[in-house]
Amino acid sequence: MKIEGKEYRTIWLDEKNNTVKIIDQTKLPHQFIIKDLKTVKDAINAIKTMEVRGAPLIGGTAAYGIVLAILENKDLDFIKKSSEELVQSRPTAINLQWAVHRMNNKLSMINSSDLFDVALKEAKEICDEDVGFCENIGINGLKIIEEIYNKKKDTVNILTHCNAGWLATINWGTATSPIYHAHKKGIPLHVWVDETRPRNQGANLTSYELNEEEVPNTIITDNTGGLLMQRGEVDMCIVGTDRTLSTGDVCNKIGTYLKALAAYDNNIPFYVALPSTTIDWNIKNYKDIPIEERNSEELSHVEGKDDEGNIKKILIYPNKSKAKNLAFDITPAKYVTGLITEKGICVASEEALKKMFNK
Ligand code: MRU
């Protein structure tokens, strides 16, 4: 998708210098900085500090992380240790371990002299596949938006939480892909963007990328959606997910569950958009999903730009207050109207998911 009119993906390899390039998302929306990852440690650090984030992009970065590890040292113990460190860099999004396992499976029987070429091809394939999946999610989700528009014959208001946009994937996004497809088709849309405290992925990233694509949007605080739904100002919700169980339970950014409850109470369709790489076919009980707890400083401090254009971080909590920063929550399948995948739309149930993916 575009930034200042120029097409980008979120990650790519500079083949001349064997350097992985990323857009540093901790600097958005105030600065657009392309950063180099030269070592596997750089890739691990980028995931941990959320320079890259969003389930599919974390997976793509981990795949390229293994390519960087091979460039440093072809020793199998080093690659194994690097793979373990990558998997541990963030616990909730399943795409991370999925991508690392896929890379390691591919590399398991390969001669040392071929490791780099095979790894690079696989990392590129993981990223290209994600672009195709997200594009198909858009084509499938577009039908839902079209249906609402055909009935309403007026602007379709869509609420989204966090950033499941193209910045969270390699391109297109998951939740935003149906939105971009509908916008390109000329359907009048408006997106309510949940700010998404504490890291403000909605305000800093979703609103930013929608602006760049000229999709009308308005940022709201995380507590506003319920009132807008009661007032009839939301036609549908679409969110992404970090891990969806085969039971249809959806783990996503903290606050998603409360939005689903409000949507359910107001009879508003609540859709979750996901590539199949985000499905966890093993865990059956949502209580077994590892929920990331991040540093409480992400709550107590906020970063922004002052009137002189300087980026500043300031404390907003009382000095002595404690804070707890859980990053994800679970929306039970019963509150999910449908799952929008690359293969089609299905209800959030084990039966429907297994049928869709031939499991
Ligand atoms: O903590 P983040 O910013 O990595 O969380 C991202 C989300 O919760 C997204 O909704 C999810 O990864 C889906 S991305 C297409």
Residue 191 identity: V
Confidence bin at 198 (pLDDT 50/70/90)? very high
Give the CATH number of domain 137-356: 3.40.50.10470
Residue 160, ligand 1, Cβ within 6 A: no
- Category of 242 on φ-ψ map: left (φ > 0), alpha (ψ -120 to 50) or beta: alpha
Whether 54 is in the pocket of ligand 1, judged by its Cβ within 6 Å, is: yes
Q: Using CA positions, which residue lies closest to atom 8 of ligand 1?
A: 253
Per-residue pLDDT at 266: 98
> 159, 242, 274: which to mutate for ligand 1, most atoms within 8 A of CB?
242
In the chain, where are the structural domains located? 2-129, 137-356
The end-to-end CA distance of the chain, in Å, is 33
What are the C-alpha distances in Å from 119 to residues 162, 335, 353? 32, 40, 30
What positions carry a catalytic annotation? 242
pTM of structure: 0.97
CATH node for 2-129: 1.20.120.420
Atom number in ligand 1 closest to CA 162: 10
pLDDT confidence bin for 187, thresholds 50/70/90: very high
Cα 71 to averaged position of ligand 1 atoms, centre (Å): 29
- At 120, the pLDDT band (50, 70, 90 cuts) reads very high
- What is the average per-residue pLDDT within 49-75? 97
Residues 113 and 323: their CA atoms lie apart, in Å, by 50
Read off the pLDDT band of 177 (50, 70, 90).
very high
Compute the mean pLDDT over every residue in the chain, rounded to the nearest whole number.
98
Q: Can you name the residues that pair with 293 across neighbouring β-strands?
A: 326
Report which of 91, 21, 92 is spatially closest to residue 52, judged by C-alpha positions.
Answer: 21
Q: How confident is the model at residue 51 (pLDDT cuts 50, 70, 90)?
A: very high
Ligand 1 site, residue 93, Cβ cutoff 6 A: yes
Task: Give the pLDDT of residue 210.
Answer: 98
Q: How confident is the model at residue 137 (pLDDT cuts 50, 70, 90)?
A: very high
Identify the pLDDT of residue 213: 97
The pLDDT assigned to 175 comes to 98
- pLDDT for the residue 82: 98
Stated length of the chain: 359
CA 24 to chain centre: 15
Read off the pLDDT of residues 295-331 as tens digits, 9 standing for 90 and up: 999 999 999 999 999 999 999 999 999 999 999 999 9
CA pair distance 102, 105, nearest whole angstrom: 5
Predicted local confidence at residue 298, as pLDDT: 98
- Among 201, 277, 294, 341, the mutation site with the greatest number of ligand 1 atoms within 8 A of its Cβ is 201
pLDDT value at residue 126: 98
The pLDDT score that the predictor gives to residue 219 is 99
Q: Is the CB of 55 under 6 A from ligand 1?
A: yes
Share of the chain above pLDDT 70, in %: 100
Atom of ligand 1 nearest to the CA of 134: 15
Q: How far is CA 216 from CA 143, 152, 195, in A?
A: 20, 18, 15
Closest CA to 258 of 227, 207, 223, 206: 223
What value does the mean pLDDT take over residues 219-232?
98
